[in-house]
Amino acid sequence: MKAQDVRERAFAMPLENPSYPPGPYRFVDREYLIITYRTDPAILRAMVPEPLEIIEPVVKYEFIRMPNSTGFGDYTESGQVVPVRFQGVEGGYVHAMYLDVDPPIAGGRELWGFPKKLANPSLRVEHDVLVGTLDFGPVRVATGTMGYKHTRLPDEKIRHALGEPGFLLKIIPHVDGSPRLCQLVRYHLSDIMVKGGWTGPAALELQPHALAPVASLPVLEVLSATHLIADITLDLGEVVHDYLA
């Protein structure tokens, strides 16, 4: 294989059969359980990188089902997003994500810088309760529950929330182990089609774990919960800050 062939064909690893195809990446019937809670402000400040600004000591814990995802298949993820402000615009900093399938883990980390690790999350309906769980190996580290479809939310409110930018800390090491890329990346969701949104009573429990430390941002008070279903396109990102420059 000639060097020019490598340059023309190289998209992702492995060269001959990448773990995921090129985008765009469309998600159909993407379902969220988002539980918003108040946490310790000092701990939160130590975890959110500058130049992002913390709006208030709040975390959104998410359980997400993705049954129909272009190039990534059928999978579930769970993790934490922190409401932040960047250059006067509000958005969400993705602090941690845990998934059960390889292609979206590889694609999420390599393309955007999503902080994804392999685990076993789930989101399901148990009679009259929406239940989200996260297991890391045999250990349960997160449990979220919400009354099923108690109060309908306006579609426009859901569309506005999904339309806010997301922020990621993308880190790619050099072959000697030093950081080759260390960037703040911004991304958006587009072509948003809201299929329903609800709120209701909710509870969230996080358990300490050495390698899935979601409980490091402790739950002091559950503030609200949202259950929503939408079709969205995950757009590619842009670098908005280079920590190595």
Choosing from 116, 117, 170, 195, the catalytic residue is 116
Catalytic-residue membership of 170: no
Residue 140, SS3?
A: strand
Both tokens of 219, joined, read 């739950």
pLDDT of 115-130, one tens digit each?
Answer: 999 999 999 999 999 9
The answer for residues whose C-beta is within 8 angstroms of residue 1's C-beta and 6 or more apart is none
pLDDT of 137-158, one tens digit each?
Answer: 999 999 999 999 999 999 999 9
pLDDT of 202-245, one tens digit each?
Answer: 999 999 999 999 999 999 999 999 999 999 999 999 999 999 99
CA distance 161 to 196: 13
